[in-house]
Chain A
């Protein structure tokens, strides 16, 4: 069966510091991978998605970036965090074909102080 991991689970970072969140998927090959952000009490905002190694599509212009160095690894980064970057970051995967239902990782709760 497929599993998706995210770390860290929680993170408190000062404004201006860098960020690196990692997501890995097990039990599947060539998945589509997604990064979402959810502000407190709000909906799911798609940040990036990837259909393959090195292929990243950005949905929202911002100070975040994403990379996919391996088939089942997806990384979210920032060089300098802003207060507005606080939120619940969720990684998700779906099949590359078929119905595209998405399965979410446990999430990282980021607080920028």
Chain B
């Protein structure tokens, strides 16, 4: 069950803020966020765990609402380097000790000067 990301695309001017949302219809173990620049591999940004613990990037923040199975990524005072496609991944137990990460379709973020 693929998580749903919104918006699909957003265009900002440098210094503006943006929020990217990720929601799932299934119970989640954790939510992961990745950024992919054009032609490159995705890069891990952060992970949000049940109970509110957050690990990863120190300049980008995120939240995880366990009851609603939703996560939001907050990009404040955006920089040109923030441009790229952002993917959320939702981790679920797929049986026994196997955990599977399912990615959303991505949000294309463009930051202009």
Contacts and interface: CB of A to CB of B under 8 A. Distances in A.
Interface of A: 42-44, 46, 49, 51, 57, 90, 94, 97, 99-107
Given A90-B41, A106-B41, A107-B41, A99 B55 contact: yes
B32 to A, nearest CB: 6
28 contacts: A42-B105, A43-B104, A43-B106, A44-B42, A46-B101, A51-B98, A57-B98, A90-B42, A94-B101, A97-B97, A99-B30, A99-B49, A99-B55, A100-B30, A100-B101, A101-B32, A101-B44, A101-B55, A101-B56, A102-B32, A102-B44, A104-B41, A104-B42, A104-B43, A106-B40, A106-B41, A107-B40, A107-B41
Contacts, number: 48
A46 B89 CA distance: 12
Contacts of B87: 43-44
Given A99-B30, A99-B55, A102-B32, A43 B41 contact: no
SS of A interface (majority) = loop
Interface of B: 2, 30, 32, 40-44, 47, 49, 55-56, 87, 89, 91, 97-106
